[in-house]
Amino acid sequence: MDHRPLGRTGLSVSAIGLGCMGMSEFYGASDDTQSLATLEAALDAGITFFDTADMYGVGHNERLLGQFLKGKREKVVLATKFGNVRGPNGERLGINGSPAYVREACEASLKRLGIETIDLYYQHRVDPKTPIEDTVGAMARLVEEGKVRHLGLSECSVATLKRAHGVHPITAVQTEYSLWTRDAEAEMLGVCADLGISFVAYSPLGRAFLTGAITSTDTLAENDFRRHNPRFQGEAFAQNKRLTDALAAFAAARKVTSAQIALAWILNKQPHVIPIPGTRRIKYLQENAAAVAIRLSPAEVAELDALFPPQAVAGTRYPEPVMANLNI
């Protein structure tokens, strides 16, 4: 497994991490025994960077990671997030970045995870009601107290990132990035590179769409949120499938999978980006990890760029109410 620096912290992490969200929610039913086996397989494959959040499964995901971490805490760089507030029954209660809530959320995450210090603590979504200076100031106090090592932001704007970085060094920005979500190429990737901030790419496989495995939303579980994602609907689905068919042909010519090419595209194009594909299954985890060894020439990267021009992707990446919480 290759490694990449985590910001300017001196830490390095596996070039591919593991997004753990789907082990608790959003993609249909999950099984803790299967998930724990996959987490163990990730460590065996050399993956050291694990990503969770307090809202995934309303705390379930952090408790699952806490179970996994017993006896192996020193082998893992753990990232979690706060800010998307949910009630005990999963109801959405908005975004909270107030200093009091920053501390409350951190204490709760530490308890669920069963650890003393979080390696990387993100604000999951920017709270427009709270100045970012106040939120990051509260996060910085957690660093001073030893509860958190490094700070991150997720789905923020460049302007917010620069303001936050002026309060306390930001180690990582986490935002969706993949062949079919390339918004960050306009500005954010360059700013992160200039500031020495790692860019953590979530959903690098387009919520499995880029793998070619999803041929119809009818195959998805009733509670799978992709059923309501604009890119998976009607004509948008058909248009986007034409793109993934082209990706499949490219991958077949290389005798690898579409998923491996989608990850290799990121890894070969962006040296400061760390993709964190999520999976619940050992087979796909091992497939994803093997993508680190794939080398693409500049011409091949350019060919993939041309296969996925941003204007050719149909549909927004979230429903409109959720899109309103991005890039603040």
Which positions are catalytic? 56
Residues 170 and 46: their CA atoms lie apart, in Å, by 26
Residue 119 has, within 13 A of its CA and on its CB side, a CA count of: 20
Per-residue tokens: 130: 């709270």
Nearest CA to 184 out of 174, 194, 170 is that of 174
DSSP 73: G
DSSP alpha helix (H) spans, 22-152:
32-44, 60-69, 99-113, 132-144
Sort residue 47 into left (φ over 0), alpha (ψ -120 to 50) or beta: beta
* Cα dihedral 133, 19, 231, 178 in deg (nearest 10): 80
How remote is the C-alpha of 309 from its chain's centroid? 22
The backbone region for 294, taken as left when phi is positive above 0, alpha when psi lies in -120 to 50, beta otherwise, is beta
Residues 204, 177: contact at Cβ < 8 Å?
Answer: yes
> Pick from 267, 151, 277, 308: which is nearest to 208 by CA?
277
Q: Letter for the amino acid at 172?
A: A
Residue 299 to residue 307: CA distance in whole angstroms: 12
